[in-house]
Homo-oligomer: A and B are copies of this chain.
Amino acid sequence: MSNGVNAKDVARLAGVSQSSVSRVFFGGASVSEKTRQKVLAAAEELGYIPNEFARSLITNKSKIIGLVMKGIKNPFYPQVLKEFTVAFKKLGYSILFVHTNHDEIQKEDVKMLLHYNVAGVIITDAALSLNLSEDFKKFKIPLVLFNRKVEKQEFFSVCTNNLEASRQIAEFLIQKGCTDMVYISGDRNTSTSLEREKGFFEVVEKHQLPYERYDSDYSYQGGYDTTRLILKKGRIPSAFFVANDIMSFGVLDALREHSIEVPGQVKVVGFDNIDMASWPIYNLTTWEQPISEMVDETVEYMLAEIEEYTGATGNVEIRGKLIKRKTT
């Protein structure tokens, strides 16, 4: 008896058929104004709420979007979660949240999503195997990689223009007089870190300047430890380009501990422009990822694919911009 009252009850009270009740609530069907009023009044009186399960069962479409997320500790992602939730809610969709510990999501991570016959799936901060993606293709479930992409364009992905961004960051630092630069990478099996590295070094090489790469992991601790390691060697580069903001904070804190002046002795540029980047203590120069636009683009694709599945792939890039603050 679901939550007590069903369409039949409403129909009885309104003196119409169950079909009419359904037509009023499902929309798109023709109902006389008189019937509509009777039904709505009866529904109001009884506190009728259509059962979404029954609806999904018969339409074979759910109004649930699966959102798979790994890096919840990076404030960038909660923000993304929030924006997706708000955007989809307006469209009548709910978010089924899945947390994964895996860089490449596993069958077990998405099993539930298939059980619920989700309308679409968004994966952030993680990749997935072609193998697993077959399941989605088979069931015609649209899929978007958010802030990740895959070499061969087997998926639809939405990112910021990482390559161009890191090129601009390099140009900017060089113009500021930096000659000796370090890139601190995120997880090197993520497309975002690799692209940022590529664009950055491309320009640095073009200018025939020395550079070095240190591998880290997108975490505060990673940025902090890596910087201490570098300083231990007695080496102070003229600039750090760091693969995300949260690592940059670790870098800045390590520099502060060694009383190295920023931006006097070293300049630091991050990536993401999370809220904390504007905190006075950090005041970090960084690349703004336009989350809202990236979300909008994702939602638009999703909706189109839900409407009519094509399985279209491709990498969409949304232009971000350099936010200049006090670390450069």
Residues of A whose CB lies within 8 Å of any CB of B are 1-4, 47, 49-54, 56-57, 60, 62, 64, 67, 72-73, 75, 77-79, 81-82, 85-86, 89, 94-99, 111-112, 114-117, 138-139, 220, 224, 249-250, 252-254, 256-257, 275-276, 279-281
Contact = CB atoms under 8 A, between A and B. Distances in A.
Contacts of A82: 72, 99
Contacts of A62: 53
Nearest to A3: B139
Contacts of A116: 52-53, 94
Given A51-B115, A81-B97, A99-B86, A73 B280 contact: no
Contact of A2 (B2, B60, B73, B252): B60
In order of increasing CB-CB distance, the 5 nearest A-B pairs are A97-B97, A3-B139, A52-B115, A253-B281, A53-B53
A73 B275 CA distance: 9
20 contacts: A3-B114, A3-B117, A49-B114, A51-B117, A53-B53, A53-B57, A53-B62, A57-B57, A72-B79, A73-B275, A75-B78, A78-B78, A86-B99, A89-B98, A94-B97, A94-B98, A220-B275, A220-B279, A224-B280, A253-B279
A98 to B, nearest CB: 7
Contacts of A52: 115-117
A53 B117 contact: yes
Contacts of A81: 72, 78, 97, 99
Interface centre among A50, A249, A254, A276, by most chain B C-beta atoms within 10 angstroms, is A276
Contacts of A276: 220
A221 to B, nearest CB: 9
Contact of A279 (B72, B89, B139, B249): B249
Given A53-B117, A116-B53, A280-B224, A3 B138 contact: yes
Contacts of A78: 72-73, 75, 77-78, 81
A50 B62 CA distance: 15
A111 B280 CA distance: 40
A57 B60 contact: no
Nearest to A220: B279
A97 B96 contact: yes
Nearest to A224: B280
A72 to B, nearest CB: 5
A1 to B, nearest CB: 7
Contacts of A77: 78
Given A52-B115, A77-B78, A78-B81, 18 more contacts: A3-B138, A3-B139, A51-B115, A52-B116, A53-B56, A53-B116, A53-B117, A64-B96, A72-B81, A73-B79, A81-B99, A86-B99, A94-B98, A95-B96, A95-B97, A220-B276, A252-B281, A281-B281
A74 B249 CA distance: 17
